[in-house]
């Protein structure tokens, strides 16, 4: 396994209890994927090292290639050019991915067979759903940097997604972001405790009321 992939995989258990907003803030407000890319079924949650894929719109050959190459625990992160008229991922690829130990999928494109995917509890985040079919002919890339939802993603970056959205943590910042996230979570816990004692957010966050006109 590549060192950066191993680093991200080792971080999975430590990051699992965080949420995307905390990791985004801890990253210096970096890594937020376009909120239009959402869980494809209620309760989907994913955390793991990215395996990047770029597909031509309407063609999913490279997703099949990626699944065949994927290491256990990888999250396939794919761009399909935001194409929404064909489901680039469905039940067959889900079964193939589960057999390989793939941890989930994040795709800037559409998927299909959601009832079957939900029944298998395979985490999928997509821009939409479509029953259209894809060709399997045109080349793209696997394991090269991609642009997805406004974020540059490289294989080995940590992918975290839940009902709130998806965030990417650069693999060389994993320890830095983890420590910052711990500090942020501690501070938020202290604020919540004080709010329950009757303090106000204005006071605790040092906010000032705007001047009255």
| pLDDT tens by residue, 96-110 | 999 999 999 999 999
> What percent of the chain shows pLDDT beyond 90?
90
pLDDT of residue 212: 82
Question: Given a cut of 80, is residue 10 above it in pLDDT?
Answer: no
pLDDT tens profile 183-199? 999 999 999 999 999 99
pLDDT of residue 213: 75
Judge contact between 100 and 67, C-beta under 8 A. yes
pLDDT of residue 2: 63
Beta-bridge partner residues of 169: 158
Question: Given a cut of 90, is residue 5 above it in pLDDT?
Answer: no
Q: What is the mean pLDDT of the chain?
A: 94
Q: What is the mean pLDDT of residues 77-100?
A: 97
Q: What is the mean pLDDT of residues 202-208?
A: 92
Q: What is the mean pLDDT of residues 157-186?
A: 96
Query: Which pTM was predicted?
Result: 0.92
From residue 208, give the alpha-carbon distance in Å to each of 143, 191, 197, 200, 211: 48, 17, 21, 12, 9
Name the residue among 133, 155, 149 with its Cα closest to residue 58. 133
Residue 48 pLDDT grade (very low, low, confident, very high; cuts 50, 70, 90)? very high
pLDDT of residue 163: 96
pLDDT tens profile 137-156? 999 999 999 999 999 999 99
Question: Given a cut of 60, is residue 4 above it in pLDDT?
Answer: no
Q: What is the mean pLDDT of residues 127-133?
A: 97
Separate counts of helices (H) and strands (E) for the chain:
7, 10
Q: How many residues would you count in the chain?
A: 213
Can you list the positions of beta strands (E) in the chain?
Answer: 38-39, 46-54, 75-79, 104-111, 124-129, 141-142, 146-148, 151-153, 158-162, 165-169
Domains and CATH numbers, the chain: 3-172 (3.50.30.40)
Q: Which two tokens stand for residue 80?
A: 């399909």
pLDDT of residue 105: 98
Residue 13 pLDDT grade (very low, low, confident, very high; cuts 50, 70, 90)? confident
pLDDT of residue 6: 65
């Amino acid at each position: 396994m590549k060192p950066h992939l191993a680093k991200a995989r080792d971080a999975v258990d430590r990051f699992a209890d965080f949420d995307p907003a905390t990791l985004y803030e801890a990253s210096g407000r970096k890594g937020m994927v376009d909120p239009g890319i959402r869980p494809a079924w209620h309760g989907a949650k994913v955390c793991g090292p990215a395996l990047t894929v770029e597909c031509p719109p309407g063609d999913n050959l490279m997703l099949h290639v990626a699944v065949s190459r994927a290491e256990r625990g990888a999250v396939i992160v794919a761009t399909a050019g935001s194409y929404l008229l064909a489901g680039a991922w469905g039940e067959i690829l889900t079964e193939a991915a589960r057999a390989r130990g793939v941890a989930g999928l994040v795709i800037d494109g559409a998927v299909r067979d959601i009832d079957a995917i939900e029944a298998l509890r395979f985490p999928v985040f997509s821009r939409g759903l479509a029953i259209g079919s894809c060709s399997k002919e045109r080349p793209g890339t696997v394991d090269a940097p991609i642009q997805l939802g406004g974020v540059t993603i490289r294989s080995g970056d940590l992918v975290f997604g839940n009902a709130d959205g998806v965030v990417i943590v650069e693999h060389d910042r994993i320890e830095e972001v983890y420590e910052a996230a711990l500090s942020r979570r501690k501070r938020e816990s202290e604020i919540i405790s004080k709010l329950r004692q009757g303090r106000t957010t204005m006071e605790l966050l040092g906010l000032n009321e705007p001047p009255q006109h």
